[in-house]
Structure 1
Amino acid sequence: MPNKEIRSGKGKDKLKPSIRFKQLALSALINQQWLSDLIDQQRTKIPLSRPKVAGILTNNEKNILHKYRELRSDSERESLVNLMAHLTVFSQIPPKLRARLAPYAYFIILGPKRKIIEQGREPATVYFVLTGDITVTTKIWNSVKNKYIERLEYLSGPGEWLGEIDFLENQKRQQTFTSK
């Protein structure tokens, strides 16, 4: 019977809403995964900056790192090696190399917008980031403006090394590192 109604034109109005509802239900069922992901995305906040870390080192450890290596006692050297063993920054380094590196370790606090390493300079040190963010830029020549422009390469954060490649390969610094 529905076919006779459709042919005569009476049943078209009745069928349209039901067909539309079925299509809507079907598309909702198919896209259910995407709809649930959309709700999760709305609740997710994208961090624009890294969370602040209160402090990794104690004041005693900072005092040891502030001393010149000639003035450190044997117990201070030993505690420094133990400290380096527990920091994730130094986890990639073998224990023997960590022990040899410990006398050369120093702790410095840098303010914002301070150049740590400048492009084109000779390498003298390697830096390890304990807290904070470092912007890594490269100077490139802009022929339109006839001057060098700094281009942001990436952001470096806690647990990363700075300037180790240039130091190991004994070449001039390829990038500028600035505290954020």
Structure 2
Amino acid sequence: MRSDVNILIVLLVFLISIQLKAQEINGGLLLNNNKEVMLSLESKSAVDLFKQFKVDAYKIGFNFKADGLKKNEEGEFVVFFDFMTVVKKDGRTIRKVRRHIPMPYFPGEMFLPAEAFDFIGVLSVTSWDDMEKRTFVPQQKSGILKSGKYEVQLSAIPRDVKGKIDPVTFGFVVE
């Protein structure tokens, strides 16, 4: 009986030490250093919104810290992330897109391009009446946004590690 108790104690200490060494991250996405932003669009064009991101009027910041990560074969700390985009119009979800091809990132602070997410593509087709057909004919579609209140949430979802990256949300109104 005493030997069973000793084995149980050793096993508990081992499990606790593994838990303390668990790989964990925390961080967030920001747009111009804010978690929530209301944008002022220069036009109704999704392509013009993309231009605003390209000329750095809007910067997507990404930062995270990591604890207990193991180094990869090259001796670096790397975390893989899936990126998710949720676009809503007038409170209704238009599209939710998750990229299941993970991208590697190093802990720290960095900027992400708009292309890391799918909001420009989703917004470009919101004016289509036949979105469900998923037929892309760019010459016939202008990418002009319909009137309404839009909300975009961008998320980074870590793969194979515990923790969370806080999402960023931005919105705008098209009249």
Normalising by structure 2, we get a TM-score of: 0.26
Highest Rg: 1 or 2?
A: 1
Larger RCO of the pair (alpha carbons < 8 Å, separation 6+): 2
Higher percent of residues as helix: 1
Higher percent of residues as strand: 2
